[in-house]
Amino acid sequence: FWDFLILFFCLPVVIFNEITKKRLLGDVSCRIVPFVEVSSLGVTTFSLCALGIDRFHAATSPTASARPIERCQSIIAKLAVIWVGSMTLSVPEILLWQLAQDPAPVSGVVAEYCTMKPWAELPESIYSLVLTYQNARMWWYFGCYFCLPILFTLSCQLVTRRIRGSEKTERRGTKQGQSESHLNCTIIGLATIYGLCTTPENVCNIVVAYMSPDMSKQTLDLLSLINQFFLFFKCSVTPVLLLCLCRPLGQAFMDCCCCCCEGCGPDTASSEGSADSKLKTEMSSSIFFDKPRESPPPLLALGTPC
């Protein structure tokens, strides 16, 4: 959902600004776009950490064979903590950016762009906090939004493999072992895409921090555009990768799309095929859980109103 929000709101604003040199929605977009982009990094970071903890608990649980399926309310509560925490950590971005205007040296056309400059009208205490955040922003990005998810995911995977090393031979051919291996590959794939797409931004931030006086404004604008391109690329690839690697989630998504396209009115033959697909989806693993229920539940469409 957050990746879709980035592509739906931030991408048109950036493209419009690059084409017309005018900022869509003016000063509001200068504050909201960085806020949403940084919140996206936080959502991805803390989601990867939560998935790593889930895999670690699955490996170390003494009652792994009887591990219950987590309730929907518990998952929503975790997502709320992740989203609210990410947006709270991104609040300084709203107070840090401002809309600026600069006439072109040749044509004289006034170009609008966003500059990192705290509000002068802020109270003294808040102004000093925002200024401190601006000075530490580069290392905060690097430590929290790059090192934390990558190192946390790698640590959880290494510890999980070490704990399950003795059980690897016994469980390799079982359905449970294949499910756990598939889930671990999914998390590693998500972390790899995130690391590859955020590396250029962190490198550019470090370069700009130490070499900005010697760099022209055109070079700085180009580096900023490259960073946003990689962010949009990550937001485009991550949902596709998740739907492809997590087969039950991808199947539920396709069933929902097909149901909406057909007007939620399947015939008898399609109902029988849908029942079979529901049974397969229910019996297979999901991205969060790896244990089936003890008694078969009623056949309900996963994620669809049909």
Q: What are the tens digits of pLDDT across the range 13-35?
A: 888 888 887 888 878 888 888 89
Q: What pLDDT digit, counting tens, does each position of 133-144 carry?
A: 888 888 888 888
- Comparing 8-12, 76-80, 105-109, the range with the smallest average pLDDT is 105-109
Q: What is the mean pLDDT of residues 163-186?
A: 64
pLDDT at 49 over 60: yes
**Alpha carbon distance 282, 299 (integer Å):** 8
Q: Closest Cα partner for 254 from 301, 287, 288, 297? A: 301
> CB neighbours (10 Å) of residue 76?
10
The answer to which of 198-202, 254-258, 302-306 has the lowest mean pLDDT is: 302-306
Q: What is the pLDDT of residues 149-173, one digit of tens each?
A: 888 888 888 887 777 665 554 555 5
Mean pLDDT of 195-211: 83
- State the pLDDT at residue 167: 56
CA angle 222, 225, 229 (to 5 degrees): 140
| Mean pLDDT value of segment 182-188 | 80
Longest CA–CA span in the chain (Å) reads 75
Candidate from 56-60, 123-127, 165-169, 292-296 with smallest mean pLDDT: 292-296
Percent of the chain with pLDDT over 70: 74
**The predicted structure's pLDDT at residue 276:** 52
What does the alpha-carbon distance between residue 287 and residue 75 come to, in Å, rounded to a whole number?
12
Mean pLDDT of the chain: 76
**Beta partners for 101?**
112
Residue 241 banded pLDDT, cuts 50, 70, 90: confident
Full set of structural domains in the chain with CATH: 1-60+70-166+181-260 (1.20.1070.10)
Query: Looking at residue 282, what is its pLDDT?
Result: 47
Q: Which of 35-49, 174-188, 223-237 has the highest mean pLDDT?
A: 35-49
Instruction: Tell if the pTM clears 0.75, that is, is over it.
Output: no
pLDDT higher than threshold 70 for residue 102? yes
Distance CA 156, CA 54 (A): 9
Q: What is the pLDDT of residue 25?
A: 80
